Amino acid sequence: MQELLHQLATGVSSGGIYASLALALVMIYRSTGHVNFAQGEMAMLSTFLAWTMLDAGAPYWAVFAVTIGMSFLAGALIERLLIRPMGGKQEMLMVTVFLGLFMICNSIAGWVWGYDTRPFESPFDSLAFLQNPYEGPHDLGAMAVTMILMAALFLFFQFTRTGLAMRASTENPTSSRLVGIAVGRMFGLGWGMAASVGAIAGMMVAPTVFLEPNMMATILVYGFAAALLGGIDNPWGAVIGGYIVAILENLLGVYVIGNEMRMTVALVLIIGTLVIKPEGLFGRRNVVRV
Amino acid sequence: MKTNKGMIASAALLALTVGIGPAYADKKYDTGATDTEIKIGGSGPFSGPASVAGQMVKSVAAYFAWINTKGGINGRKINYIAEDDTYSSAKAVEVTRKLVEQEGVLLMAGSIGTPTQLAVSGYLNDKKIPQLFIATGNSAFYDPKVHPWTIGNSVTTFTEGVLIGKHVGQNWPGTKVAVLFQNDDLGKEYFAGVKQGLGDKAPIAASVSYEVSDPTVDSQIATLQSSGATIFISLSTPKATSQAIRRAYDTGWKPKMIIPSIVAQIQGTLAPAGLDKAVGVITPTFIKDANDPHWANDPATIAFLDWMKTYDTQVTDTALAIAGYDAGETLAEILKECGDELTHENIMKHASNIKAFHPSLMLPGISVTTTPTDYRVIHQMQFESFNGKNWELYGAVVTDAD
């Protein structure tokens, strides 16, 4: 019984990790209609940027804010320089660009910072009232950050003018242009925001998995499974998806299929979702009139 | 009479010359050795994700550069040619073939990289070219039956596991043990050793594996914690070890934790977890830690640190510098013993008959020994515990022979 509680608790903390990256994937999908495979690597680069500032002695929350801002600019810049010239039409072309971006980010991090594992500061570790036998203080803090982020994204897409404009640009670029929405600017904004969400995910994940260029590589698979399972156009669906993936992975890994098969759980969930319910558990079904 | 005496003297001189004659003829060389030079090849990653490890090979090169300034070995300069294999097996095969077939090296030595060196050991053994003192504990590099021309320069992973098991059995008999191991050759070999070393002295309450692709080992720690064990042996690579140290501390389990020597880097493994959380962690070792104040007045350590400052300037990781220096020292000793017979066969003969050689940075009481039927160079280790700042040796040297 005690073990089951521990497994559920670790499932929740891993779920938080997956959920935070899943949110970045939702952000980019919602605003551009693409799934960016390099999202995790971009987040990793942002985290290295934050590490450099922290290492130089800057205070945590200032670094947090500056990293989000700089990631936003970098994301928007990537959209303008790399993505927009592609026209965003051919799926295969986009996939290739994303994979290229993945490798470029990974190599840049290795080249600039090296491949050593480094510690990353957590703002929550020193909070004594968060001490408990099941979750580390950082896990609880990171979970709170993920929840706030999720609520913010949900409100942004649902209730703000910009959020609606962004959704419209993805759904129907031509009509959006006709009603006066600057579609190109919306895509840039989407990339920037996704990079910012990724930066937050990176800074929340790094204290647990430690910072190195390959930090996000495997998390991306789980984050992708989480986003798909919850519905890739739905922020709270993605977060719930993250918790389901992690808890399922833990319980199946420990009690049923064995620890060797953990990643298989995520992969089966990805394929299973795509085959059986492509819109995910909480996503909206795409209905097209013909 | 006088003439006779002269003739006897001449005859004696002649006999002497004849006697010395064969000794001169004994100068035997294979490709790569001459009266003035010995060519040695080495490979390791100098670029790419694993490039840190390549510092070991650079240190071997620096060691021989230093030996050359002191006149070389038996009057011959060492020409150590190090190539970048980027930690890719295909690339390692390419550079090794180049070193052997184009550069014409006498032997390969001081390389690093378990998969890359495994990939070339078949080729080198077929060509009967010695592959010596590779920085790896994988047992495949210490088996004269499989690879008669290959000898590593570390304690084997299995032996280290046995020593960890024995240490636990001797010091905490009957205490429940939990084991985490990486689900590959490395983790399984360690675990097999630990099981043999423990015997029936202490029970293994739980053992779980993890995959390198697992983002965290949190779930595994939960399983191990629930077993009620108070000793935790983590047979893992640096990242998972850091995570295990941190998680075992954060959940309040706080077991007595033992980690293998290959991950016992303070900056690389303990610091990410938090040095305060790593206090009390135990690891075995056979080498003097040059950063440990305990050795501050040790002449060999002082000499090493001076050498590192002057000759090994590209290298930042002290542990890898020590590994390179140590491999260089043992190899230099063997080449010295080989004298003027620098053939593949003779080098292997001396490398497989090392009798209690003590490299200067090895712990007191631990030495290198090989026999033609047992290539495992090191059989002893001593344990050390982390005090929040550095490792502290304690207890006696543990040996795998009973």
Task: Please report whether residue A209 resides in a domain.
Answer: yes
Separation between Cα atoms, residue A82 and residue A80, nearest integer Å: 6
- Least-confidence region, from A26-35, B81-90, B270-279: A26-35
Note the pLDDT tens digit of each residue in B51-70: 888 999 999 999 999 999 99
Closest Cα in chain A, distance from residue B22 (Å): 56
- Give how many domains chain A has, as a whole number: 1
Is A147 domain-assigned? yes
How many folded domains does chain B comprise? 2
The answer as to whether A177 is a domain residue is yes
Residue B290 CB contacts under 8 Å (≥ 6 apart), including other chains: B301, B304, B305, B308, B318, B322, B361
Burial status of residue B399 (CB atoms within 10 A of its CB: 0-12, 13-18, 19 or more):
middle
pLDDT, residue B88, reads: 92
User: Is residue A154 assigned to a domain?
Assistant: yes
Q: What is the CATH number of the domain that holds B321?
A: 3.40.50.2300
Evaluate if pTM is beyond 0.90: no
Give residue B12's pLDDT.
Answer: 53
Average pLDDT over residues B22-28: 62
Tell me, yes or no, whether A231 lies in a domain. Answer: no
**pLDDT over 80 (residue B393):** yes
Residues B204, B317 share a domain: no
What three-state secondary structure class fits B160?
Answer: helix
Residue A290 belongs to some domain of the structure:
no
CA separation for the pair B299, B291 (Å, rounded): 14
User: Which chain B residues are Cβ-neighbours of A134 within 8 angstroms?
Assistant: 251
Average pLDDT over residues B237-266: 91
CA distances for B343 relative to A2, B111, B129, angstroms? 64, 20, 9
CA distance A17 to B53: 30
A210–B222 CB contact, under 8 Å? no
Query: Which of B208, B216, B250 comes nearest A259 by C-beta?
Result: B208
Instruction: Give first-to-last CA distance, chain B, whole Å.
Output: 71
pLDDT band at B19 (very low <50, low <70, confident <90, very high): very low
Same domain? For B150 and B168 the reply is: no
Query: What average pLDDT does range B301-319 have in this prediction?
Result: 90
Mean pLDDT of B391-397: 92
Q: Is residue B378 part of a domain?
A: no
Asked if residue B27 belongs to a domain, the reply is no
Alpha helices in B49-155 (DSSP H): 55-69, 89-97, 114-126
What residues does A207 pair with on adjacent strands? Answer: none
Residue B11 lies in a domain: no
Q: Is residue B251 part of a domain?
A: yes
Is B169 in the same domain as B277? yes
- The encoded tokens of residue A260 equal 């060797």
Residues B225, B203 within the same domain = yes
B229 located within any domain: yes
Task: Examine the domain organization and report whether B194 and B174 are in the same domain.
Answer: yes
* Chain B contact residues (CB < 8 Å to A): 48-52, 183, 208-211, 213-216, 218-223, 225-226, 238-239, 242-243, 246-247, 250-252, 267-269, 271-274
Quick check: A126 contacting B, CB < 8 Å? no
Phi, psi of B390 (to 5 degrees): -150, 175
CA distance A238 to A282: 8
Q: Is residue B23 predicted with pLDDT exceeding 50?
A: no
Q: How much of chain B is helix, strand and coil, in % rounded to 5? A: 45, 20, 35
Question: Which residues, in sequence order, are CB contacts of B70 under 8 Å at separation 6+?
Answer: none
Distance CA B108, CA B127 (A): 12
Residues 6+ apart with CB under 8 A from A278: none
> Beta-carbon neighbour count of residue B211 at 10 Å?
17
First and final CA of chain A: distance in angstroms? 54
- Whether residue A222 is contained in a domain is answered as no
Task: Give the C-alpha separation, B65 to B61, whole Å.
Answer: 6
Which residues in chain B are contacts of A260 at CB distance < 8 A?
A: 183, 209, 211
Q: What is the pLDDT of residue B10?
A: 56
Amino acid at A168: A
Residues B211, B324 share a domain? no
Residues from chain A that touch B268, judged by Cβ atoms under 8 A, are 116-117
Q: Is B134 within a domain?
A: yes
From the CA of B111, how many Å to the nearest CA of chain A?
Answer: 20
Please give the full DSSP string across B283-339, using - where no structure is assigned: EEESB--TTSGGGTT-HHHHHHHHHHHHT-TT---HHHHHHHHHHHHHHHHHHHHHT
What pLDDT sits at residue A131? 75
A279 vs chain B: nearest CA distance in angstroms? 26
Tokens at B137, concatenated: 């504990």
B211 and A2 in contact by Cβ < 8 A? no
Whether B19 is in a domain gets the answer: no
The reply to whether residue A209 touches residue B239, judged by beta carbons under 8 angstroms, is: yes
Across chain B, mean pLDDT equals 90
Q: Tokens 């309450």: give the residue.
A: B205
Q: Are residues B163 and B251 in the same domain?
A: yes
Residue A45 belongs to domain spanning: 20-214
What is the SS3 assignment for B198-247?
A: HCCCCCEEEEEEECCCCCCCHHHHHHHHHCCCCEEEEECCHHHHHHHHHH
Residue B256 and residue B272 share a domain: yes
> DSSP assignment of chain A, as one string?
-HHHHHHHHHHHHHHHHHHHHHHHHHHHHHHHS---TTHHHHHHHHHHHHHHHHHTT--HHHHHHHHHHHHHHHHHHHIIIIIGGGTT--HHHHHHHHHHHHHHHHHHHHHHH-S--B----SSTT-GGG--SSS-HHHHHHHHHHHHHHHHHHHHHHH-HHHHHHHHHHH-HHHHHHTT--HHHHHHHHHHHHHHHHHHHHHHHHHHH-BSTTTTHHHHHHHHHHHHHH-TT-HHHHHHHHHHHHHHHHHIIIIIS-GGGHHHHHHHHHHHHHHH-TT-SSSPP-----
Q: Which helix (H) or strand (E) holds B24?
A: helix B2-25
Which residues share a beta bridge with B232? B178, B257
What chain B residue is nearest to A249 in terms of C-alpha separation? B219
For residue A173, the model assigns a pLDDT of 84
- Cβ distance B152 to B183 under 8 Å? no
Q: Is A17 on the interface with B (CB under 8 A)?
A: yes
Question: Do B356 and B390 have their domain in common?
Answer: no
Q: Which structural domain, as residue segments, surrounds residue B67?
A: 37-154+296-371
- B357 pLDDT above the threshold of 70: yes
In terms of domains, do B150 and B164 share one?
no
Low-confidence ranges of chain A (pLDDT < 70): 87-89, 286-288, 290
- Are B124 and B162 found together in one domain? no
In a domain, A253, yes or no: no
Looking at the structure, tell me whether residues B277 and B227 fall in a common domain. yes
- Whether B215 and A116 lie within 8 Å, measured CB to CB: no
Give the ipTM: 0.83
Structure confidence at residue B8 (pLDDT): 57
DSSP B54: G
B100, part of any domain: yes
Question: Mean per-residue pLDDT for B278-296?
Answer: 92
Residue B344's DSSP bridge partners are: none
Distance from CA of B279 to the nearest CA of A (A): 17
**Integer Rg of chain A from CA:** 19
pLDDT (0 to 100) of residue A169:
87
% of residues, chain B, pLDDT over 70 = 94
